[in-house]
């Protein structure tokens, strides 16, 4: 037990509850060694993505997809329709809510097939009026772009043979990107948001409202990342040292960091 230095949790209340969680009980026990506690880094990232408050867009999209796929005959008609118009995709993916970030693929595919879905809805008398609503379409474009970026980060974090310092670097790089995107969007520069840029060329709307809204959403995501991953900043320099012990570093400083974090008596080390 004396060799324990950290505990990683997955977010269950039984593990992280402030009063009755496992971590809380361990910290209250004076005989328990001093340790660091972390939330699973990939799970943290998923939670940051889950805070996107565009449920009405996602729910409507899923409703349409399920409507098309639920009935075998209708699904066959839709696939035949896509084949006849030489669409790039032959079907819509089934939505799975087990992994929130699977929504990224759903939205991307849906938007690429949007013109065909509109035509199919007219031919089959579907009352999907929101497919012509500029506000809904612009929000769909934004959600498609941001979930795509979160998906890219998710895949990066789950790669094989990844050290924790690599994962921390990926998170830090993403936070820096968020700062850049916020600045660009406020200037109506949508270089990194191709779906938004495309939709704005189709809709005659006042961009200012959406620019401010999207910038605020990105700021919320950035703040969430900073808060949820703050614990990892404490060990960044130590992780770097473990990965590259011969790097040019102040050993005295490293030793002090070890002492502070792990409550090590330097006189005995």
Considering the domain boundaries, does residue 8 fall inside one? yes
Instruction: Examine the domain organization and report whether 107 and 160 are in the same domain.
Output: yes
Instruction: Examine the domain organization and report whether 72 and 155 are in the same domain.
Output: yes
Instruction: Examine the domain organization and report whether 53 and 115 are in the same domain.
Output: yes
Instruction: Examine the domain organization and report whether 5 and 127 are in the same domain.
Output: no
Lowest average pLDDT, out of 14-18, 158-162, 173-177, goes to 14-18
Q: Which residues contact 108 (CB under 8 A, 6 or more apart)?
A: 144, 147, 148
Q: Which residues contact 177 (CB under 8 A, 6 or more apart)?
A: 149, 192
Average confidence (pLDDT) over 235-258: 69
Q: Which domain holds residue 73?
A: 46-231
Q: Which of 155, 40, 159 is nearest to 101 (CA)?
A: 155
pLDDT above 70: residue 119: yes
Considering the domain boundaries, does residue 219 fall inside one? yes
Instruction: Examine the domain organization and report whether 101 and 185 are in the same domain.
Output: yes
Query: What's the pLDDT at 96?
Result: 43
Quick one: pLDDT band at residue 95, thresholds 50, 70, 90? Answer: very low
User: Alpha-carbon distance 134 to 176, whole Å?
Assistant: 31
Query: What's the pLDDT at 168?
Result: 83
- Between 262 and 18, residue with greater pLDDT: 18
pLDDT one-digit tens code per residue, 60-70: 887 787 777 66
Considering the domain boundaries, does residue 77 fall inside one? yes
pLDDT above 60: residue 3: yes
Tell me phi and psi for residue 37, to 5 degrees.
-125, 140
Instruction: Examine the domain organization and report whether 130 and 8 are in the same domain.
Output: no
Please state, rounded to an integer, the average pLDDT across all residues of the chain: 76
Answer whether 95's CB lies under 8 Å from 62's CB. yes
Considering the domain boundaries, does residue 165 fall inside one? yes
Considering the domain boundaries, does residue 98 fall inside one? yes
pLDDT one-digit tens code per residue, 173-228: 999 999 999 999 999 999 999 999 999 999 888 889 899 999 999 998 899 888 87
- Between 29 and 266, residue with greater pLDDT: 29
Instruction: Examine the domain organization and report whether 121 and 196 are in the same domain.
Output: yes
Query: What's the pLDDT at 191?
Result: 94
pLDDT above 70: residue 143: yes
Considering the domain boundaries, does residue 55 fall inside one? yes
User: Alpha-carbon distance 34 to 27, whole Å?
Assistant: 8
Instruction: Examine the domain organization and report whether 28 and 99 are in the same domain.
Output: no
pLDDT above 70: residue 116: yes
Considering the domain boundaries, does residue 14 fall inside one? yes
Quick one: pLDDT band at residue 107, thresholds 50, 70, 90? Answer: confident
pLDDT above 80: residue 102: no
What is the separation of C-alpha 262 from the centre of its chain, rounded to a whole number of angstroms? 31
Instruction: Examine the domain organization and report whether 23 and 91 are in the same domain.
Output: no
Instruction: Examine the domain organization and report whether 93 and 180 are in the same domain.
Output: yes
Structural domain count of the chain: 2
Return the structure tokens found at 58. 């996602």
Query: What's the pLDDT at 214?
Result: 93
Instruction: Examine the domain organization and report whether 103 and 144 are in the same domain.
Output: yes
User: Alpha-carbon distance 242 to 236, whole Å?
Assistant: 10
Instruction: Examine the domain organization and report whether 53 and 72 are in the same domain.
Output: yes
Considering the domain boundaries, does residue 81 fall inside one? yes
């Amino acid at each position: 037990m004396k060799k324990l230095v950290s505990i990683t949790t997955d977010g269950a209340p039984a593990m992280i509850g402030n009063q009755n969680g496992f971590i809380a009980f361990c910290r209250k026990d004076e005989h328990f060694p001093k340790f660091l506690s972390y939330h699973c880094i990939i799970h943290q990232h998923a939670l940051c993505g889950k805070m996107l408050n565009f449920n009405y867009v996602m729910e409507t999209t899923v409703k349409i997809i399920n409507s098309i796929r639920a009935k075998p005959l209708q699904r066959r008609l839709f696939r035949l329709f896509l084949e006849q118009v030489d669409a790039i995709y032959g079907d819509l993916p089934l939505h799975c809510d087990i992994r929130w970030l699977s929504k990224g693929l759903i939205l991307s595919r849906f938007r690429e097939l949007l013109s065909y879905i509109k035509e199919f809805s007219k031919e089959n008398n579907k009352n999907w009026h929101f497919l012509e609503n500029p506000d809904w379409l612009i929000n769909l474009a934004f959600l498609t772009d941001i979930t795509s970026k979160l998906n890219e980060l998710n895949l990066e974090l789950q790669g094989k043979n990844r050290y924790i310092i690599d994962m921390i670097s990926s998170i830090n790089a993403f936070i820096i990107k968020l700062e850049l995107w916020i600045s660009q969007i406020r200037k109506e520069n949508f270089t990194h948001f191709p779906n938004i840029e495309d939709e704005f060329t189709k809709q005659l709307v006042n961009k200012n409202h959406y620019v401010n809204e999207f910038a605020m959403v990105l700021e919320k995501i950035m703040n969430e990342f900073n808060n949820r991953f703050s614990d990892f900043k404490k060990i960044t320099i130590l992780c770097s040292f473990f990965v590259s012990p011969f790097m040019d570093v102040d050993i005295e400083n490293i030793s002090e960091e070890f002492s502070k974090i792990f409550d090590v008596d330097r006189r005995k080390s």
